[in-house]
Chains A and B, each alone.
Chain A
Amino acid sequence: MSTELLKGNVAFAEAAVRAGCEAYFGYPITPQTEALEHMAKRMPELGRVFVQAESEVAAINMVYGAAAAGVRTMTSSSSPGVSLMMEGLSYMAGSEVPAVLVDVMRGGPGLGNIAPAQGDYLQIVKGGGHGDYKMIVLAPANVQEMIDLTLLAFDLADRYRIVSVLLADGSLGQMMEGATLPPMRPLAERPAWALSGARDRDTNLVSSIHLDPEELARFNDHLQAKYAEIEANEVRFEEHRLDDARVGVVAFGTAARVAKTAIATVRDEGVAAGLLRPITLWPYPEAALRDLAERVDALLVVEMNAGQMVEDVRRVVEGRVPVRFFGRTGGVMPMPEEIADAIREVAGASAAAGAQQAQPQEVNA
């Protein structure tokens, strides 16, 4: 297959088509509307389902219905629209139907703006809706990953009967990069549990109700066991220049891209910095992070929010090393030099702390 210049939003939409997505339901919202428009053209061309719903509330419930019918289905939105979907996502988790959601994050809270941000981390990674559930969360950092992780999202959703989320941002959605699309895959068979009319079989039910508390507890145990299996098997991350790093930068998505440039700059100055880039935000690369915490002097978490993933980093690191944070809110894009400054400061503070420890008698009592 050839490499072509693709816009992020179009890339993930077409990747979904190639992955065998049979039904797309969405609503226009900047900065991902190109995906809706691409699907509006492509899905009818292929005799598949496209509906522009009346709201994101309706869209996610249409996804719920199509997912219950056993077809590969998805929706895409951005932060304010994704908030409207939380109810539907909880219902889908509670009835174990597979589906894919793409959240192209923008500045918030509230209507915010249309600039790229990472302010939905806690919402998405912690489930977002009510109840004890998780969704697989994949964080692309370039247009090729927008494609590859969309394919992975559908496969993991079906394998585990779970919702997979592609957590992108407006920058990734709008940028154009060279990327390669996969060939068209055949449509999947409908699973045995799906709703298709009880012809010559017992009736199927897709529901999230378990009125008896003991029964609901058992169902929750089942979900937790599923999540443990996913945590054991589906962690993905990138390690960049970590072998000899003294400062470990932890970042995902667009923040990670900018951090790589900053790391290149400070490396030239002799600061040994490297990047741990989670690709799955759930399941989080906890083992890799703990391992890194054993080896570096400090961690610097870089995000395009007021500090969300840093909470998970601190939780996992459990104080082994200092965890610092650099963030930009409002949809403001962090610049490499700002991140480089933050790395230098962390490296400097680590060096000073190291120097103090070497000469304890100089500390005033």
Chain B
Amino acid sequence: MTVLAAEPLLTPVYEYPESLTHVPTHYCPGCTHGVAHRLIAEVIDEMGIRQDTIGVASVGCSVFSYRYFATDFAQAAHGRAPAMATGVKRANPDKFVFTYQGDGDLASIGAAEILHAAVRGENITVFFVNNAIYGMTGGQMAPTTLPFQRTSSSPDGRDPATTGAPLRMSELLAQVDGTAYIARRSLHDVVQIRRAKKAIRRALEVQRQGIGLSMVELLSSCPTNWGLAPDAALKFIRDEMVPVFPLGDFKVPPEPEAGAQA
């Protein structure tokens, strides 16, 4: 029997995620916080865990991230999100708990909190958005700022002799036994964004297994404070940040036993 070719229907294959709230974000045009939010929301949708997820917002440009994710949310003091998430997760061991932190929040004021959440092997997922600068307060130097990078508090360029070299948190935390999955990805082009999404998925699956702390560091742009147009900012990540913050997996969980649940 001959099947007549039907008129193909245009079906939406990529839509606004259910786990975002449709609230227009306050992030600057071209800021890759938006990409990170979207990827996390897409993964939460695909895993079907929106109603079982609690996010912990930090302080920085993403301080209002609770406006954009359609999940329960707590707003933590600057740097304290991993400690607050510890309390939230210990009280809700069956739920998914994630923190969303910038580089000032995680690598500066919050350095002790993230380190010890890792030491304790807290079963939380940390999304670390690294743009080598303090965005919200107007572009000051961060522990992750590149050598000789001009910022508002290093106007002549970061001097490594007096302010040190960029802090590589993924490598540092991978040394801690309590971590199960530590990955650094980038958001500077479509290929990298797709890889980043896979890492976000893997991190939340690691949380589902309850085998330790998972973190995805995402190299991100700050067009406004870098003084670059959005597209040029992405190239800055590719050309200047990636050599200092290499992409890759610094800690991977052991493969599940044959026959065990993934």
Contacts and interface: CB of A to CB of B under 8 A. Distances in A.
A61 B113 CA distance: 10
A95 B75 contact: yes
6 contacts: A58-B86, A65-B85, A65-B86, A203-B71, A204-B73, A205-B74
B116 A197 contact: no
B219 to A, nearest CB: 27
A142 B48 CA distance: 53
Of A25, A198, A199, A203, most B-chain CB atoms within 10 Å: A203
B234 interface: no
Contacts of B57: 207
A175 B34 CA distance: 57
A73 B90 CA distance: 11
Interface string B72-89: 111111001001111111
B37 interface: no
Contacts of B72: 195-198, 203-205
Interface in B98-146: 112-113, 115-116, 119-120
Interface in B170-204: none
B116 A53 contact: yes
Nearest to A88: B77
B50 A61 contact: no
Contacts of A199: 51-52
B95 interface: yes
Most A CB contacts (10 A, CB to CB) among B50, B56, B87 go to B87
A151 interface: no
B41 interface: no
Contact of B120 (A51, A61, A73): A51
Given A65-B88, A203-B70, A58 B75 contact: no
A207 B91 contact: no
B72 to A, nearest CB: 4
Given A195-B54, A197-B92, A198-B50, A25 B73 contact: no
Contacts of A23: 87, 90-91
Q: Is the interface of B mostly helix, strand, loop or mixed?
A: helix
B75 A197 contact: no
B93 to A, nearest CB: 9
Interface string B8-46: 000000000000000000000000000000000000000
Contacts of B154: none
Contacts of B74: 64-65, 68, 195, 205-207
A273 B115 CA distance: 57
A198 B73 CA distance: 10
Contacts of A71: 91
Nearest to A66: B87
Given A205-B66, A205-B75, A67 B87 contact: yes
A49 interface: yes
A27 to B, nearest CB: 11
B92 A196 contact: yes
Interface of A: 22-23, 25, 49, 51, 53-55, 57-59, 61-71, 73, 87-88, 91, 95, 195-200, 203-209
A340 B12 CA distance: 86
B87 A25 contact: yes
B116 A54 contact: yes
Contacts of B52: 197, 199
Contacts of A61: 76-77, 80, 83-84, 87, 113
A196 B73 CA distance: 9
Among B54, B72, B85, find the residue whose CB has the most chain A CB atoms closer than 10 A. B72
Contacts of B89: 65
B92 A53 contact: no
Nearest to B83: A61
B53 interface: yes
A66 B113 CA distance: 16
Contact of B76 (A59, A63, A64, A196): A64
B87 A197 contact: no
Contacts of A51: 86, 90, 120
B56 to A, nearest CB: 7
B63 interface: yes
Nearest to B115: A54
Contacts of A64: 74, 76-77, 80, 84, 87
A209 B75 contact: yes
Contacts of B64: 209
A58 B91 contact: no
A44 to B, nearest CB: 12
A66 B90 contact: yes
A58 B112 contact: yes
Given A68-B74, A198-B50, 18 more contacts: A22-B91, A23-B91, A49-B90, A57-B113, A58-B116, A61-B76, A64-B87, A66-B88, A68-B84, A69-B91, A87-B77, A91-B76, A91-B77, A195-B54, A205-B66, A205-B73, A205-B75, A208-B75
What 4 A-B pairs are tightest by C-beta distance, nearest first?
A65-B87, A207-B75, A69-B91, A61-B83
A69 B92 contact: yes
B172 to A, nearest CB: 15
Contacts of B73: 195, 203-207
Nearest to A58: B83
Contacts of A53: 83, 116
A68 B92 contact: no
A140 to B, nearest CB: 26
A73 B84 CA distance: 13
A195 B92 contact: yes
